[in-house]
Amino acid sequence: MIGSGSGSGREAKLRYLDASIDILSEGDHVICAVSGDHIHLSQLRYWSVERQEPYASAKIASERNTAPRNDDESQAG
């Protein structure tokens, strides 16, 4: 398992807001949308409200959020 924390735990499901998160499903970590690293909830600092995804570091968040979106929503129309 990548990342830190005690034991394997369970992945939390979150809703990412501007300055906080809503816990939709209890767990002790989330998985970085880019690197796949496990991020303990107490260490979660970076996420995208628009993309609704967490990031393991400021560098990853910055790189991800300056890249063009390539998903079904941006291609619809």
For residue 64, being part of any structural domain is answered with: no
Cβ-based burial of 56 (10 A; exposed 0-12, middle 13-18, buried ≥19): buried
For residue 70, being part of any structural domain is answered with: no
Provide the domain count of the chain. 1
For residue 35, being part of any structural domain is answered with: yes
Task: Give phi and psi for 23, each to the nearest 5.
Answer: -85, 115
For residue 45, being part of any structural domain is answered with: yes
Task: Kindly state the percentage of the chain with pLDDT values over 90.
Answer: 73
pLDDT tens for 33-63 read 999 999 999 999 999 999 999 999 999 999 9
